Structure 1
Amino acid sequence: MRNNSSDETIKRNYIMKYLHLIKEYEQVKRNEHEHFRYVQDFYKFYDTDRRAFLKYYNRYKQSGKHDSLLPLKRGPKY
């Protein structure tokens, strides 16, 4: 049986998705995107929350690392 404990597929797909969204978001902000004129249209099309996207976008821009696109630990701290 395969050991899936070190499988990075979910992380890799999550990072690829956000890198794609960031690329399109920056095109919309520069008015270079062919489909979206406003950022609101971008959020509606991808069905994403503005606050959540901007949280990861700003974190990525400040650090410049792909790992910053992954969610941090959540839940109670005991």
Structure 2
Amino acid sequence: MPRTRIVSRQAKREKADQEEKVRLTQIKIDAVLEQVDELEKRAKNQVYTQIKLIHARTDNHLLEMKMSESLNLKLKYFTDYKWKGK
């Protein structure tokens, strides 16, 4: 006849160990996701800052142009506008 107390205690202990491992894994995953979110925020801020800088450096006339007008200028770089645009 098997000892049911020992078997049930061992089963409970194993179940508790598994639950603890799952809980620790969830904590680790949450920490990694927070790091990824922080990296995403930093990358978005860098892109936003670069766009603002380009926008500030670009001539207003060029910013107000229609797409067809700017394509007709056949500029390779925005800085070429200084020579062709005016």
| TM-score normalized with structure 2 length | 0.32
Q: Looking at both structures, which has the greater relative contact order when contacts are Cα pairs under 8 Å and sequence separation is at least 6?
A: 1
Q: Name the one with the larger helix percent.
A: 2
